[in-house]
Amino acid sequence: MSFAYSFARSLQHLTRRLSNGWLSSAGLAPESLEILLKRTMADVRILEAFSDNYMYLVICPKTKEAAVVDPAEPQKVISAVESAQVKLTTVLTTHHHSDHAGGNEQLLLMRPNLRVYGGDARIKKLTHKVDRDDMKITIGSFTVQTLLTPCHTSGHVCYFIPAGSDSSNPRPPVVFTGDTLFTSGCGKFFEGTAQQMQAAMDKLAALPPETRVYNGHEYTVSNLKFALHVEPGNKAVSDKLSWARSQREKFQPTIPSTIGEELTYNPFMRTREPDVQAHTNQTDPVSTMAALRLEKDNFKVPRL
């Protein structure tokens, strides 16, 4: 690891501590940190975990109550909670894999009596089983809605928060997609089928186009390289790839995206598009989904 790389990473982590969490502007035009914090800091804070995971601290600005999504590294979560001076009450678990749910036990030791939501009995310390769409979970003054998205795992759940109605603090809708929907990609079908993933993509595509998408991993650049392979003439893909490369060179996240953006450059959300179907030699969405996943699983990511 070079000195320049180490210095840049150290500077990044210092900035994150000073700003109580690193924030991203969802691929929009660059903004100053001050403006960005004023606009988004009260709602979602991005917390890095391991080499490429993301956890999220979701804060109600009115009540200072908070939830955490996939607290895989509990100490980082506790540090963010204490820095923000909020009351953590809820864990929203997208699925049972250890890099998402593996920190639940330790977190409950540090913060007993948390509500732990998830769709799978394999999730440690589960207190509230999510078994249907549109379950309502109250966090302070806002409500989280559940979306069942089985495929990556049989009990995978996404969590949707509708747009805020407070004109003094406008908040866009957000969705936490775990390992179902990535920026320009989707999760592997470990416990499901192409038909299930197609249903999950359709369910997410029906959300408002301005919905911010917070996913579970920093896979954006490699996903976009595959998307460009599938649709080499798609300018939305090439433009997003250029932007994502720039973000990563600055050690900044490439999330969130939006549902509207994903529909323009994510091949797994474009399985009805003629160009995507032509690439896979398929004529229906489910067969196209299956062919894309098989190809992606064996895709050699170009260095450039």
Give the integer Cα–Cα distance in Å for 180 and 88: 25
Query: Token pair 């960005």 is at which residue?
Result: 36
Q: Give the pLDDT of residue 151.
A: 99
Q: What is the tens place of the pLDDT at every residue in 83-102?
A: 999 999 999 999 999 999 99
Low-confidence ranges of the chain (pLDDT < 70): 1-42, 165-169, 304
Q: What is the mean pLDDT of the chain?
A: 89
Q: Give the pLDDT of residue 168.
A: 61
pTM of the model: 0.86
212 backbone dihedrals φ, ψ, rounded to 5°: -75, 135
Domains of the chain: 3-297 (3.60.15.10)
Q: Give the pLDDT of residue 209.
A: 98
C-alpha to C-alpha distances, 47 to 56, 70, 110, nearest whole angstrom: 6, 10, 18
Q: Which residues contact 287 (CB under 8 A, 6 or more apart)?
A: 194, 280
Q: Give the pLDDT of residue 166.
A: 66
Q: Which residues are catalytic?
A: 95, 97, 99-100, 152, 179, 217
Cα 131–chain centre separation? 21
| Pairing relationship of beta strands 87-92 and 115-118 according to DSSP bridges | parallel
Q: Give the pLDDT of residue 167.
A: 64
Give the CB-side neighbour count of residue 25, counting CA atoms within 13 A. Answer: 15
- DSSP string across 108-159: HHHSTT-EEEES-TTSTT--EE--STT-EEEETTEEEEEEE--SSSTT-EEE
